Amino acid sequence: MRYRLEVRLAAGDVGRRVVIRWRRPAGNDGDETADVLGVLEAADAVSFSVRKASGELVTIPRDRVLAGKTVPAVPQRKHRGAGSGAGAGGNHPGRSG
């Protein structure tokens, strides 16, 4: 099965969570394929800027982008109360204390 890579991002997607697959420069004058996941902070005719969860801002030249799309927001974790559920209260196998 063949997949067609498409860039489905535009300036209207700024502020949304995206994933971009691109050709990033690697050693020995070559390229490697990499994915960047984060919030699109800027998009213009020249580049995309994506803020990763780590806080790092990655600017990707448009001519190196292979594919890009919006993705759903990070799912919210459900927090359990201190006394409910398995693992509550610090009773973890292999831990003392």
- Predicted confidence (pLDDT) per residue in 43-59, tens digit: 999 999 999 999 999 99
Please report where in the chains the tokens 């700024």 appear, as a residue. Answer: 14
Which structural domains are found in the chain, ordered by start?
Answer: 1-72 (2.30.30.520)
What are the φ/ψ torsions at residue 89 (nearest 5 degrees)?
80, 10
- Predicted confidence (pLDDT) per residue in 4-37, tens digit: 889 999 999 999 999 999 999 998 888 999 999 9
Maximum alpha-carbon separation in the chain? 57
Give the DSSP letter of residue 40.
E
Query: Is the pLDDT confidence value at 90 over 80?
Result: no
- Predicted confidence (pLDDT) per residue in 58-88, tens digit: 999 999 999 999 999 988 888 776 655 555 4
